[in-house]
Structure 1
Amino acid sequence: MVTAPDCIGTASRPAAPPGAVPWVAMYHSVDTCSSDPYRVTVTPERLEHQLAWLDRHGLRGVTVRELLAARARGEGRNLVALTFDDGYADFLTHALPALRRRRFGATLFVLPGRLGGLNSWDPLGPRKPLLTADGVRAAAAEGVEIGSHGLTHIDLTRADDVTLKSETADSAALLRELTGSPVDGFCYPYGTVDSRVVAAVRDAGYGYACAIDPGALSGPHALPRLHVGQNDTAWRLGLKYRLHRLRRRPVRGV
């Protein structure tokens, strides 16, 4: 069988110096899906290949919390934070077993205002079930870091002050009650963020927050991420990683 060449060889293993762009990979759903207009789904087989690519290059998937702690010590050159947005029920059935086999960690950003519901914010579908409260607790019990994706998956840059506080502070309180653990991380729905939203997230007590492309914003509450999808073969994954490092500015304080 012919395989695509890897872009990063063993001799050129990524070794980001302090202040360089952290590698935070963004996943959503892991399942088989015939229709995926928003590119939020990877098949279990594709995820296995992508995790194997990391493993082959001496890279280890971890939680965002672990990545940031390692970077604060001047370490973590071989760490990649794996994040899964929205809290789809298929995380337990497909993503978690694959992570377990590699002994990788991950951060799961969930919506405590939609537990047991559906991804109704995606008008074109397909409809996907979200984790229940028991499902979130089960993931946390397996060592998965649980973070907030807001309460209901709205564009926070368009929210009024009362709604913004509810989506940030109230979601953290609900998740702390649900899991019995601190909630360090936040993830901006749709990746949309501005300085007002960053301030609300910081005021709510989060230690970090993940965006996609935060533009001029920088720091632990505006972490850029690399979207990983179904089309990302080994060759594409290596290329996207290189472009991510070139196109994203260094993150202040990380």
Structure 2
Amino acid sequence: MNAARVPVLMYHRVGDVRDAREARYAISAANFTAHMRAVAHAGFRAIGIDAFVAWLQGGQSLPEGALLITFDDGFRGVRENAVPVLEQLAWPFTVFLVSDQIGGENAWMRGSDPEAGTYPLLDADEIHDMQQRGCSFQSHTRSHRRLPALDDDALRDELRGSRETLSELLRAEVRYLAYPFGQVDERVEVASRNAGYTAAFATQPGFNRPDVDRFRIRRLDVFGTDSAAMLLRKIRLGSNDGSLGNMLGYRLRRVASRLPGMAR
């Protein structure tokens, strides 16, 4: 049976967390492993990004339980802590790289939080190694700037420059983009199309069905504090709110919709 909807998971760094502030966008290796094992046990299976976009375009069917796993920014910890469990499961995954920061650190964080810790990003050799281990690399722009705030020339440079640099590094066409901070407006969407991207990923939660806007693909934000049970509820609800209360409310609404006189 062809999948009717496909969730996309959005992770960032996988590794040790210094404080509660970092836990929103960093998950420990042990918790990430628990996530993947729980997802597999529940009957979900990861697919590649090309298969996902082909499904959106109507050119390929996907099994029920298909999902896409993505990592923003390109942290080295993904290779060290996430790849082993993904290899065990034989699951493909996608990393969105900041092309001007390859081999550096996530220095863009200091722009919004001068006290934020920075962490190493993948270098070229590590990227090439991961290409052979089931990873698709795509664009997260050149320098992780807030795209709607840029003028037209700077916007074009962020989008086209990253795509060209990464295509040369990877020796493969870069077709997909993840907007930094999830920020996108109509002008950014048009510029992304003009830069040669086929599809782009935002941070709005929800399920993806074949009629989703190809340049505003939805993703579920996975936090480092999410338990495996919390993640499964997020996936089943298509929501960033994986609380028990939200799941209960959803089930009550489903029951009520089936009662005589309630479905209107």
TM-score interval, normalised by the smaller of the two chains: 0.7 to 0.9
Query: How far apart are residue 191 of structure 1 and its match?
Result: 0.5
> Which residue does 1:185 correspond to in 2?
176
How does 1:185-224 map onto structure 2 within 5 Å? 185-213=176-204, 218-224=212-218
> Which residue does 1:115 correspond to in 2?
102
CA distance in 1, matches of 2:217, 2:13: 21
> Which residue does 1:103 correspond to in 2?
90
Aligned partners of 1:188 and 1:211 also within 8 Å: yes
Distance change >3 Å, CA 48–CA 165, structure 1 → 2: same
CA distance in 2, matches of 1:228, 1:214: 11
> Which residue does 2:30 correspond to in 1?
45
CA distance in 1, matches of 2:100, 2:227: 35
> Which residue does 1:228 correspond to in 2?
222
Deviation readout 1:224-252 (Å, 9 max, x if unpaired) = 100112222132112222332699xxxxx
Q: Which amino acid aligns with 1:67?
A: F
> Which residue does 1:7 correspond to in 2?
none
CA distance in 1, matches of 2:235, 2:80: 27
Aligned partners of 2:3 and 2:66 also within 8 Å: no
Q: Under a length normalisation based on structure 2, what TM-score does the superposition of the two structures give?
A: 0.81
Q: How many residues align?
A: 230
- For the pair 1:93 / 2:80, whether they are aligned, the reply is yes
Query: How far apart are residue 70 of structure 1 and its match?
Result: 3.7
CA distance in 2, matches of 1:108, 1:63: 11
Per residue, is there more helix in 1 or in 2? 2
Q: Which amino acid aligns with 2:155?
A: L
Alignment RMSD: 2.3
Query: How far apart are residue 97 of structure 1 and its match?
Result: 1.1
Q: Which amino acid aligns with 1:244?
A: G
Q: Which amino acid aligns with 1:219?
A: D
CA distance in 2, matches of 1:35, 1:245: 25
Deviation readout 1:126-149 (Å, 9 max, x if unpaired) = 210111122222222223111000
> Which residue does 1:250 correspond to in 2?
none
Query: How far apart are residue 182 of structure 1 and its match?
Result: 1.1
How does 1:27-42 map onto structure 2 within 5 Å? 27-38=11-22, 39-42=24-27
Once the two structures are aligned, what percentage of the paired residues are identical?
30
Distance change >3 Å, CA 36–CA 210, structure 1 → 2: farther
Q: Which amino acid aligns with 2:98?
A: L
> Which residue does 2:120 correspond to in 1?
129
Query: How far apart are residue 68 of structure 1 and its match?
Result: 2.4
> Which residue does 2:235 correspond to in 1?
241
Stretches of structure 1 lacking an aligned partner (at least 5 in a row)? 1-14, 248-254
Query: How far apart are residue 36 of structure 1 and its match?
Result: 5.0
CA distance in 1, matches of 2:217, 2:231: 19
> Which residue does 1:9 correspond to in 2?
none
Aligned partners of 2:97 and 2:139 also within 8 Å: yes
Query: How far apart are residue 74 of structure 1 and its match?
Result: 3.6
> Which residue does 1:161 correspond to in 2?
152
CA distance in 2, matches of 1:142, 1:129: 20
SS in 2 for 1:99: helix
Stretches of 4+ moved more than 3 A in 1?
none
> Which residue does 1:6 correspond to in 2?
none
CA distance in 2, matches of 1:182, 1:143: 16
Stretches of structure 2 lacking an aligned partner (at least 5 in a row)? 207-211, 242-264
